[in-house]
Structure 1
Amino acid sequence: MPHTTSPTATTTGTTTPTSASASVDSLSLPWEELVTSALLGTDRRPPAPRGAPVPADAPAALLDAAALHTVRRRAGLLPAVPEARPEPAAPDPRPALPEAARHRLAHLLADRSAPSGGGRRGTAPDLTELIPQWLAIANRRGFRAPAALLPALLDAARARTDLRPQALAFAGPRGMWLAGLNPDWKFALRGSASGAPQPDLTDPDAVARLWEEGLFAERVALLDAVRAQDPPAALALLATTWPAERAEDRLMFLDSLRSGLDGADEPFLEQALSDRSRNVRATAAELLSALPESALAGRMAARALSCVHPDRTGAVASIAVEAPHECDADMQRDGVMAVPPTGRGERSWWLGQLVEATPLGVWEERFGERPADEIVALPVADDWADELHTAWCRAAARQRNPRWSRALLGRPSEPVTSGSGTASIAERSKLLAILDEGERASWVAEFIAAHGLSEAFQLLGVCTVPWAGPLGRAVVDALDIARDGGSYPWSFSGVMGLAERCLDPAEADRLEVLTATQDEQEGASPGAGGYWSEAFQRLVSTLRLRAAMEAELMG
């Protein structure tokens, strides 16, 4: 602690003030003023009260005052008021982890810092990408988290939102109990502010009390839980407070109805079409259009059929389109947005919304019971094909219709920019998500074999992990072709990273041959051989580490 001496004698026998005595005025400043002076500098904010003389050695006076304030603050601290000891955590009956798996988790959590964004990644696996997979396997096998690793697990989930669902499921009741004792982990307390479990859903009084008094996040979680167990009860609960809810809250609550949506929800959603919020009206209309038998779907179909119909004037069957000329009040009430985005024509914007909300079975009936693939292949007059097919894609995704999804996807071997259906990779991803896992993987494997990997990254993202044999082989073969062709390896870093997470670990042995460094080819990117070798070594080592992780979790 800096000393506070009396004036110091000089050789002449007189006394001069030291920095400590000069800082007496500084001691009357509050701590916050001293901090401000230190941050701004003593030249700009001298450590002295307003109107008082500035100390001759202001920096020293500031430091002396800060030291004395520190001692004073420490001496003035009062003991904390003791609180009641928290109730013990609820028991977790799940089995303990095997010892090897526990050590693996400790290693993953200890080395969870993200790798540097620049430079070469080297050949070592990226452990940060393995934590989600480890948690998913552990949860599937029903293990409980080791108590000693819960703080590190909650810290990891706090830093990465993508980890939270799996990490909190693995943490279990003890993790929720612990989160209630540390404000840094409050993100985990979705069930209630105290971290207590949801009320007994069979107790109507407890449910009603939480619905009326709970925080917004608690109410959303409650509505989702009731909806999963008893959809009509969730709808009745929502109706009790609907008129008094804020617009943004009504929108979130309405979104909860996507789960278990059926005809029983139609009366409520029809009322929501008259909501004072435009976003609520649009969401209600979207949900109703996903119910083919709803009155809204019928109204939208009638409008769409007046715009799109068979063209019988030529020798070849085709489709004629006459887009709407206005967007009247009834259309707007049914969810049609009147004002198009910048750069989009009004009539095409209105047409797309009508077709998107029309049940797809209507078109099969309108075009003489033709199947979906034949309808999609029909020529469309006046360059309306892209607009019409895009709207059908959105309808197929919304209605989760596999027949129309296949038709709009087209054959995977066809050129991306031609052929029937859609050329958009984003739309194809949504359509693929509707198909079953095997069909999805098979379609993407054929697409990669025909077109390579440059267009396939988004498509791979919707395929089930681990990638099935044909899909995994198609990805590896495409990477091998890119390497042999002297391509920039950095262009495939995204696919390579995805392969590390998604390839079947059994592929590791087959990939070993690709880890050797190739001789530099004429015209190839400088250093590409070394980069490709490192990338394949990292892929092989990651696959083997994933296999070891799975074996450890087998017990």
Structure 2
Amino acid sequence: MGTARRAVPDTPDLPDTPAAEGAEALLDRAALATVRRNAGYTPGTAEPVAPDPGAVPLRITGTAADRLALIVAQRSEVLPEWLALVAAGGREVDHANIPALLEHGVHGTRLRPAIAAAVGARGRWLAGLNERWAYVTAERLPGDAFSEKEWTDGTPLERRRALTALRAGDPDAARALLASEWPSLGRAETRRGLLDTLSDRPVPGDAAFLDGVLDDQAANVRGLALSLLTRLPASAHAHRLRGYVREHARLGERRELVVDDIPATRADILRDLALVAPATARSGDDFERTWALITHAPLDVWTDLFGATPDEVFAAAGSARETRLRDAFANAIGLQRDQVWARAVLRLLGEAEGLVGRLADAARGRESAHVEALLGVLPEEERRAVVLAAARDRNRAKTRDTDLAHLARAVGAAWDRELCELFLDRLGGPAPEHGRTPSAYRALCELAAEHLPPERLADLPHDPPRRGSEAEAFLCLRETLRFRLDMHKEL
């Protein structure tokens, strides 16, 4: 103990001990000091955790709950469909699966709204105890109403949900509230999150506020404001962009489109395109400004300026010395969701070698005119009709497995009866004599596994119609359709 070399320290503030010297005294005094130290602690205080709201929604149980656990762990490709089925039935996830589903949404950002609806109030309560799941608190649920308390005292995500709820019922009041708060929002991330509440349904009254946001210091905030203004073609901002097009665009001697470079010194144009003047000139800066102008200027300015139809303007862009002009127009059509332009351009693109060829070129990196994006502008029924017509256009392209896969990806939406029949005939039939590509057949099977109604399993042959890796792909297709069919029955 060392007491032979050094005296035991005096402890005048502690009670006396039986022994005055030696190891016994040292240990006694240490024990007394320990008791005094521990006795000096006061009970801790903390705000109690808010209780679970206690609502009793209809929840999945039994085999449906077991299947969800399997889907989250191993079959995440069918999770979007599962969530849609649960939402359609007005049910929520069982308690045991909520944490795993919330964790899936940490990385699967596309599914966050559906996950928030599926986990309900219990999931939102749990999200308040784990920062990783806080995204749920920003998602609006059916029946949400504006909460003054959440707007005033809530976290940034809770404030976003409150503003979203107000925006759904009174767009002008929500914008006015955001505008009044805007100067005090210090973080760009917070400003962008609240500004995004206007994305669902921009209204003409938003234009003046959004125009002012183009002066924001943060590039991502300015970019969001510009994308919203692009959806308001009657705004003062849109009229200014039309003026810039008239100033810089013309037709050349061969009726090709010419767009003069926008100087980096044009602060007015840069501001309206949410761009900044580069500190030093870089290759590509000039066309970046041209691309932004074509993308965001209302498309009607081109037809008015040249007295031409949309397909004629697009053809003029295709004849230009700058080959990227056509891609910029395709990008503008997709962003502005202009169906008239999309139909005209798709018709023009398909005239040379057929839509199948264009999609195949895009898949191989030879075609960059965003064919799938143009198709995505069309209503679902019309999009399916265009794709079916292309698949049956025997005069222009043989619909090989590869071609059919390109077309099916371009559909995107739910398959109707005719498209299902086209796929069932191809999947259940023998391999073609020429142009057989096992990888393309596997791609067809993967697409069918995702899009075919699961009850069409009965229309597929039980045994694989092809051999080797194609047979394996066919069996995987059958297994996935069986899995989805059972999933539908359980829900």
TM-score interval (norm. to shorter): 0.7 to 0.9
**CA distance in structure 2 between the aligned counterparts of 1:426 and 1:477, rounded to whole angstroms:** 31
Once residues 438 and 258 of structure 2 are traced to their aligned partners in structure 1, the CA distance between those partners, rounded to angstroms, is: 46
SS of alignment partner, residue 321 of structure 1: strand
Post-superposition offset of 1:539:
0.9
Partner of residue 446, structure 2: 497
Task: Give me the TM-score of the superposition, normalised by structure 2.
Answer: 0.74
Q: 2:370 aligns with which of 398, 408, 427?
A: 427
Secondary structure at the aligned position of 2:256 is classed as strand
Q: Distance in 2 between matches of 1:84 and 1:250?
A: 32
In structure 2, the residue matched to 1:346 is: 285
In structure 1, list runs of 5 or more residues that go unmatched.
Answer: 1-78, 115-126, 519-528
**TM-score with structure 1 length normalisation?**
0.66
Match of 2:91 in 1: 143
Q: 2:200 is matched with which residue: 238, 243, 259?
A: 259
- Choose which of 56, 66, 69 in structure 2 pairs with 1:109: 69
Deviates more, 1:535-544 or 1:83-92: 83-92
Q: Would the alpha carbon gap of residues 442 and 452 (structure 1) be closer, same or farther in structure 2, given more than 3 Å must change?
A: farther
**Alignment partner of 1:92: what SS?**
coil
Aligned partner of 1:272 in structure 2 is 213
Which residue is equivalent to 1:399?
A: 336
Deviations 1:491-547 (A, max 9, x none): 66555333212112243233316614x4xxxxxxxxxx2221121122123223323
For the residues of structure 1 that align with 2:279 and 2:292, how far apart are their CA atoms? 11
Confirm or deny: 8 A CA contact 2:116 2:141 kept in the other structure.
Answer: no
Instruction: Tell me: CA distance 1:299–1:457, structure 2 relative to 1, closer, same or farther (3 Å).
Output: farther
When residues 104 and 175 of structure 1 are mapped into structure 2, their CA distance, relative to the original with a 3 A threshold, is: same
Correspondent of 1:515 among 464, 472, 479: 464
Deviations 1:351-393 (A, max 9, x none): 222222211112222232x332233234755423x32222222
Q: Does 1:540 align with 2:481?
A: no
The aligned counterpart of 2:384 is 441
Conserved? CA contact 1:467–1:503, under 8 Å: yes
Structure 2 residue 97 is the aligned partner of structure 1 residue 159? no
Distance in 2, matches of 1:493 and 1:218, equals: 45
Q: 1:405 to 1:340 in 2, by over 3 A?
A: farther
Shift of 1:229: 2.1
Aligned residues: CA RMSD: 4.0
1:324 lines up with 2:277 in the alignment: no
Query: Please, which moves more after superposition, 217-226 or 395-404?
Result: 217-226
Match of residue 78 from structure 2 = 130
Match of 1:292 in 2: 233
Counterpart among 247, 250, 272 of residue 334 in structure 1: 272
Task: Show the counterpart of 1:373.
Answer: 311
SS of structure 1 residue aligned to 2:250? strand
Aligned to 1:170: 118
**Would you tell me which structure has more helix in proportion to its own residues?**
2
Deviation, 1:183, is 3.8
Structure 2: how far apart are the matches of 1:548 and 1:457?
26
Q: Match of 1:130, SS?
A: helix
Q: Which amino acid aligns with 2:96?
A: P
Listed as ranges, the matches of 1:93-104 within 5 Å are 93-94=57-58, 102-104=62-64
For residue 173 of structure 2, the aligned residue among 233, 246, 249 is 233
In the alignment, residue 346 of structure 1 is paired with which amino acid? D
For 2:368 and 2:452, how far apart are their aligned partners in 1? 22
CA offsets 1:165-201 (integer angstroms, 9 cap, x no match): 3343233334444555x64884465159xx9999742
**Cα pair 2:63 2:490 within 8 Å, conserved:** no
Bigger relative CO (Cα 8 Å, ≥ 6 apart): 1
* Counterpart for residue 295 of structure 2: 356
Aligned equivalents of 1:231 and 1:218: distance in 2? 18
CA contact (8 A) 1:396 1:405 kept: yes
CA distance in 1, matches of 2:469, 2:309: 49
Determine if contact 1:308/1:320 at 8 Å carries over to the other structure. Answer: yes
Identity %: 29
Which residue in the other structure is 2:242 paired with?
301
Mapped pair 1:389 → 2:326: yes
Note closer, same or farther for the CA distance 1:301–1:387 as it changes in structure 2 (3 Å cut): farther
CA distance in 2, matches of 1:130, 1:456: 22
